[in-house]
Amino acid sequence: MTKTTTSTVFLTGAALTVVGGIIGLAGAAITTIAVASAARRRVEQMEVPPSVLARRQLRRARTAVSAGAGAWRNGEASPLV
């Protein structure tokens, strides 16, 4: 291969890599927009807002931790089934 052919092949490869990167970024952007849109629609359809669900779950988790810690401190053993 001559120097001209090598540099031409190199530049062609670099150009194709750049074009592929641009297409990849465009695909990632479109996918991100689609996922955000679907998530927004899902949240709008929910009867209970996610913040309320999160507060409920946090309250339940705290209650469970408190009950477990209390049982551990008092030495109460629950029967294994």
The answer as to whether 77 is a domain residue is no
- C-alpha 42/C-alpha 38 separation (Å) is 6
**Predicted TM-score of the model (pTM):** 0.58
Domain count, the chain: 1
pLDDT at site 4: 72
Band of pLDDT at residue 76, cut at 50, 70 and 90: low
Sorted by sequence, the CB contacts under 8 Å of residue 78 that are 6+ apart come out as 71
DSSP, collapsed to helix, strand or coil, labels residue 60 as: helix
79 pLDDT exceeds 80?
Answer: no
The answer as to whether 80 is a domain residue is no
The answer as to whether 76 is a domain residue is no
The residue segments making up the domain with residue 24 are: 3-71
The answer as to whether 78 is a domain residue is no
